[in-house]
Amino acid sequence: MVHLVEFWLDSPSIHQAPLIAEFAHLTSYEVRVVISGEIGERRRRLGWGTPDFGRVEILEVRDPDAWPRTLQERRTEKLVVVSGYGASAASRFVLSSLRETGISCIIQTEGWDPSKRLLSALRWGKYLPEILRANRNSVVVLGIGSHAVRQFSKSWPKAQRFYEFGYFPQVTSTTPRKPDNPTNAEQNYLLFIGELIERKNVRALVDSWSASGVDAGLTIVGDGELREAAMTWPASADVEWLGAIPHREVGALLERASGLVLPSRFDGWGAVVSEALLSGVPVLCSQGVGAATLLSGEGPRRGHTYRSSSELTEAIRSFVGDLEGGVFDTAEIARWSEAHLSASAASKYLTNIIEFEFGDLAVRPKPPWKTMYVEGGSSK
């Protein structure tokens, strides 16, 4: 019987904290967070701050020598939720200890970048035998994003113990939303938020936006190794470059934007897609983004996807055309997202997974974004 749910994080995460805080608020389980490291400098440059975990007990256990004692504590009555399939020293320790401890475990993991398939396969091959030697009935995998669904659902030996999952951020805003479907270019603009790195495909975005000729501005928020080079790109002078901003200000930017564009070659999830939809902002993203799965299915039209960079110029034209044509109902997008993508919806889903796998819930839960939706915000 599970009484304690213990989340092991390599650092305080703005993507995990809202779910954990809401889970602790809504569930009857005791909830604890074990943090094995600090927020890295790279994430701080991107605007990350210390997130709010609510009324959750926080244990900072940075000394690896103390991990065994922490993991063993109350091991017969707890469920450990580990982030990343061997992606950090702490997660590697937990995975390698499953057989010895007999602890029940949920593994949250993104899929791997197809361009790094060999490295990811080596990691998978290293830890899969450890898990299989443990009690397979005690391990559940939550695959974050479309890549993980394709990759892990086929290779995980206990396929019935695999669930589609995501990141469920909290969006705060201090500004009123602009009118829907603005008609002039000063109001109508596209927004990119993310690192300025090759994987995010920012150069293709700038060039394709310039070539598209759309009556919409482009604002780019973020920093990274391409920042200096980006200032020399032919169309860069027409782009608004804001640099990195504190994450708490993202909501205000989103509410003034007409649409979000995320052209990444690969993103395990792409939390900014969730943030945009929760703000009622339509999204254009590549199919390399794990969260692209959120743009299809029931409910209001929420955006467009495209397959390759060669399609991006036309995709921007089509997306802006729909923005100008009133195709997207921003209020309905926000209502749908609150019902299906919020931390509250995700915490109920996680609770149901735990109770189905380790308790007495009889019906296998489905991802909230794949449940039925009734216009006006309700779902079933």
Q: For residue range 259-289, what is the model confidence (pLDDT) as tens digits?
A: 999 999 999 999 999 999 999 999 999 999 9
What does the alpha-carbon distance between residue 380 and residue 371 come to, in Å, rounded to a whole number? 6
What does the alpha-carbon distance between residue 272 and residue 249 come to, in Å, rounded to a whole number? 13
Any domain includes 129 = yes
Residues 134 and 257 in one domain: no
Residues 236 and 317 in one domain: yes
Residues 69 and 196 in one domain: no
pLDDT over 70 at 376, yes or no: no
First to last CA, the chain: 28
Any domain includes 173 = no
Between 39-53, 177-191, 198-212, 343-357, the lowest mean confidence (pLDDT) is in 177-191
Residues 30 and 136 in one domain: yes
80's CB contacts (< 8 A; 6+ apart) are: 6, 7, 8, 71, 94, 103, 104, 105, 106
Any domain includes 175 = no
Q: What is the mean pLDDT of residues 56-64?
A: 96
Between 22-31, 353-362, 371-380, the lowest mean confidence (pLDDT) is in 371-380
Residues 39 and 108 in one domain: yes
Residues 266 and 326 in one domain: yes
How many CA atoms lie within 13 Å of 49's alpha carbon, on the beta-carbon side? 8
> What is the count of structural domains for the chain?
2
**pLDDT one-digit tens code per residue, 207-238:** 999 999 999 999 999 999 999 999 999 999 99
Q: What is the pLDDT of residue 114?
A: 76
What does the alpha-carbon distance between residue 349 and residue 26 come to, in Å, rounded to a whole number? 11
Any domain includes 177 = no
What does the alpha-carbon distance between residue 242 and residue 225 come to, in Å, rounded to a whole number? 15
What does the alpha-carbon distance between residue 81 and residue 68 come to, in Å, rounded to a whole number? 16
Residues 332 and 225 in one domain: yes
- Degrees (nearest 5) of the Cα angle 87, 90, 96? 85
Any domain includes 181 = no
Residues 275 and 227 in one domain: yes
Q: What is the pLDDT of residue 115?
A: 75
What does the alpha-carbon distance between residue 303 and residue 318 come to, in Å, rounded to a whole number? 10
Tell me the residue type at 332: E
Residues 43 and 126 in one domain: yes
Q: What is the CATH number of the domain that holds 288?
A: 3.40.50.2000
What does the alpha-carbon distance between residue 300 and residue 291 come to, in Å, rounded to a whole number? 16
Q: Exposure of 347 by Cβ count < 10 A (0-12 exposed, 13-18 middle, 19+ buried)?
A: buried
Residues 41 and 104 in one domain: yes
Claim: this prediction has a pTM higher than 0.85: yes
pLDDT over 80 at 120, yes or no: no
Residues 332 and 362 in one domain: no
Residues 71 and 108 in one domain: yes
Cβ distance 223 to 42 under 8 Å? no
Any domain includes 180 = no
Q: What is the pLDDT of residue 228?
A: 95
Residue-wise burial string across 123-146, b where 16 or more C-beta atoms lie within 10 A, e elsewhere = bbeebbebbeebeeebbbbbbbbb
Counting every residue written for the chain, the total comes to: 380
For residue 250, the enclosing domain spans 189-337
Between 22-26, 78-82, 250-254, 267-271, the lowest mean confidence (pLDDT) is in 250-254
What does the alpha-carbon distance between residue 164 and residue 272 come to, in Å, rounded to a whole number? 18
Any domain includes 44 = yes
Q: Given CA atoms 359, 363, 368, 374 in this order, what sign does their dihedral have? A: negative
Number of Cβ within 10 Å of residue 265's Cβ equals: 17
